[in-house]
Structure formats: C-alpha cells, structure tokens
Amino acid sequence: MPTRFDSPTLAGRIKVSFEFFPPKNGDMEGQLWESISRLAPFNPDFVSVTYGAGGSTKQPTLNTVSRIIKETDLAPAAHLTCVEASRDEVDEVAREFAGAGVKHFVALRGDPSEGVGAKYRPHPGGYENSAALVGGLRELGDFEISVAAYPEKHPESPDFALDIDLLKRKVDAGATRALTQFFYDNDAYERYVERVRKAGIFIPIVPGIMPIHNFAQVARFADMCGASVPELLARRFEGLENDPETRAMVATAVAAEQVYDLVERGVDEFHFYTMNRAKLVYAICHLLGLRGNGSNGNNGIHAAA
C-alpha cells in the first residue's frame, strides 16, 4: 500500500532551520557542537540559539553564536527576550550580538524566571511585550526578525482574536517571520494560518516541529504550553517507555509524516526544535529525502581563524 514515504524527495522543495540552546558545562558544549556539526550539512536556512530570562544565558548564547559565525558557514539567529531587563539593557545586548556578526534575532517576550505558568510582569522601564521589542530592534538596525506564533493560542491568551492581534502588532513593528510553538495537530495549524491571513498578516508562519525523544515529557510540556496531543499519537508510543530504539524509530516516522502532510497543505519551511540532540532530527531529514552536501569533507565546519 502506498504511503507518504513513497512520495518524491522533498530535497530542494523545503527549507529547514534548527534551534539549539546554549550549554551549561563542558560536556553539554561537546554535545551541542556535535549536534551542530551533524546537522550543518543539511544547509539550514538558519540556526537559532535560545536566551535565558533576564539575560541569564547572555554570555553562553553570545559565545555560541560567535563560534557558529567563526567556525561554520551557518547563519545564526540569536533569541532575545525582554523579561527582567530594562530597554537599555536589552538594547546593549542586541548591539553586542550585532557586533559579533548577528544579523537575525528571534524576538520573544520570554517566560518569567519562575518558569512557564508564572505571571508575566513587565520590567519597569523595559519593553512591555514582544511587539515593543521588535520595534526596538528595528530602530537599532536592519535585522531579520523572527517572532513566535501559537497555532493553539498562547496559554495566557483568552482567545485567538487577542493572540492574532498581538502577532499583527509584531508584524507592523517589523517582524519578518513567525516560528510556531510546536504542535501535533496539523488541522489546528492550518486553521490558525487561515485566521492569520484573514487578519491581513502575510509573513511566513513556519511550523515548529518537536521530535519526541520522551513521550511522557513532551506530553507534560505540551500541557503547560497549551498544545494538544492527539489520541492516535499517544497510542503510537504506548509501551515504549523502556524501548528507546523502537521509540526513536516511531518518533522519526511520526515527525516525517507530519512534515509530509504539511507539505501537501502547501508548507515549504520547517523549524526543528533539536533539544541539542542530532540523531532524531538527522534521521527525520534523511527520511524526508534531504541529504547533506558533504562536498568539502568537513560538513560545513571549518577551523577557527
């Protein structure tokens, strides 16, 4: 019986990007760099590096994007938040990143340091929300600016109307792309894009794809973020808690199916949340028909100057 995996390769038909987070220690730095090296040959449109609340990972984030610029051919996008920082402090960080060669920011309000679910309180004298942050970045330079979007709405939003109004304010302030919260219901994503287009928003709404390394953990995180987990998806991972090899194979197939279905709906850009682990994302991209260039023998990584 034909399946989506019998479809023609998606190489040349889709663009991918990857998200990483800055390492906390030497071992994690080794894992991060191994993951970057493994995924670099897929020629991602960009790779993003996350940023902690109040600049808690400012130096590790800066170190990571600086190393990417110096030692790879990849285009880094630095996350930037406005949590627990004044406008002057945020602007200074943006200038520092730009001075290192960053030309792309992912502008986010950010979660409070207490964690997801805690009440957000704007910093006195800070950017009150992500739309204001986008506007501030636009005043500082001609950057590419990505922002967040929520196919099943932000958990703090009372309704989709308010959620989409904030997205429109971010676009009006200068955002050039939206990266979505991860989701597993493609119908929800499609309905969201329809709402967004009806609101007069025409920037790319790039699906965020989260490979499932551990179903129980992802389900808990999805619940906190307001992302639904279809019953069929849950059934596919039943009984695999202690079977990591089978779980990885199922996770690869599930994510590839999701991407194929979205391509059939007209989507041609995808943002993968790697969790600094390359194996699943590499397998998914390979299953989609993408191939690393490998032509220079170093997988897009070169020695530091």
In the block, tokens 């939003």 appear at 157
Does the annotation mark 231 as catalytic? no
How many CB atoms sit inside 10 A of residue 251's CB?
A: 24
User: Which phi and psi (to 5°) does residue 86 adopt?
Assistant: -80, 165
Alpha carbon separation from 80 to 85, 119, 149, 150, 256 (Å, rounded): 11, 19, 15, 18, 30
Rounded CA separation 67/111 (Å): 26
Residues 6+ apart with CB under 8 A from 98: 140, 141, 143
Which whole-number Å values give the CA distances from 183 to 2, 56, 125, 232, in the listed order?
26, 27, 34, 14
Q: Which two tokens stand for residue 4?
A: 């989506």
CA distances to 6, 137, 236, 289, 292 from 283, rounded to whole Å, are 16, 36, 18, 10, 12
CB 235 within 8 A of CB 210: no
Catalytically annotated residue among 19, 29, 89, 241: 19
Question: Which residues are catalytic, by number?
Answer: 19
